Amino acid sequence: MLRILIVEDEDIIRKGLVYTTDWLSMDCVVIAEAANGKEGYEKILELKPDVVIADICMPFMDGIDMIKKASETVKFKSILLTSYADFEYAKRAIDARVSEYLLKPIDEEQLASILKRLESEIASSRQVDLVMDLVMEQGEVDGETINLEYYMKLDLSENQYISRAIEEIRLHYADKISIESISDDLGVSASYLSRKFKEVTGQTFLDFLNKYRVQQAIVLLNTRQYRISEISDATGFTDYKHFCSVFKKYTSKSPTKFVKEVGII
């Protein structure tokens, strides 16, 4: 069940969202409400909600600044509510890594659809964190795990190309992607994007991509629902032997041996 915090300075709108929305049918519970950005920020730090639903224009601290500042400390999804269909607001929301941007009045069906998607993303993220923590404790993974949300929150205003490249990995890691295909889409040279990617992340694009794919493979292994060959295909490795080779590079074990010895399966 998702834990929701609602931050809205207009009392009627806030109370309406809290008490008239069928949260239980969405598998959600409202854990708190706040009447301004400062109060909302404090409650995010205190309560650590799964999802924050916030207005943009509020006293003391606006919704975007609140989300951006709180995200430095707490991991959560965010939905911005606003009456202002304005590009600058949308741009700032994107820069703050807001999950969704909705205009008032809120369509409950649309809200339910968004929350369902966010619930899936949160569950997947938690599973990755849990499995990778267990693996890291046993010293099985070579180097740090890939936390895309960390990199997406970095201030990349001077070079949005890296942010776009990381987003492509998040969305299309299961597909055939490369630094060349992404640089073509962005209209920059592959050498430039490759150099900048290494400067920001400390890793090559291929290392970053393959580590993330291996993380996702471990999560799929943990479900016990798929054969290793199916997981190879599902995580972007068209060649089974190549998948096994890459997996072993980053975990020091083959997928089969990993399943038998790591003890999380």
pLDDT in tens, 28-57: 899 999 999 999 999 999 999 999 999 888
Q: Is residue 156 scored above 60 in pLDDT?
A: no
- Percent of the chain scoring above 70 in pLDDT: 79
Q: How far is CA 28 from CA 24, 47, 229, 237, 263, in A?
A: 5, 15, 36, 36, 33
All structural domains of the chain with their residue ranges: 2-120, 138-261
Which helix (H) or strand (E) is 103 found in, with range?
Answer: strand 100-103
pLDDT on residue 33: 92
User: What is the pLDDT averaged over residues 239-256?
Assistant: 86
pLDDT on residue 32: 92
DSSP state of 147: -
pLDDT on residue 36: 92
Number of H helices, E strands in the chain: 13, 5
CATH of domain 138-261: 1.10.10.60
Extract the tokens encoding 257: 């041996």
The 10s digit of each residue's pLDDT in 164-207 is 888 888 888 988 899 999 999 888 999 999 998 888 888 899 98
pLDDT on residue 265: 43
pLDDT on residue 91: 54
The 10s digit of each residue's pLDDT in 96-119 is 556 677 777 777 888 888 888 888
Extract the tokens encoding 75: 């991991």
Q: Is residue 219 scored above 90 in pLDDT?
A: no
Pick the residue with more confidence: 141 or 113? 113
Q: What is the value of pTM for the model shown?
A: 0.58
CATH of domain 2-120: 3.40.50.2300
Taking alpha carbons only, the member of 61, 88, 37, 89 closest to residue 52 is: 37
Residue 215 pLDDT grade (very low, low, confident, very high; cuts 50, 70, 90)? confident
User: What is the pLDDT averaged over residues 201-220?
Assistant: 86
Half-sphere exposure of residue 224: CA atoms within 13 angstroms, side-chain side? 4
pLDDT on residue 86: 54
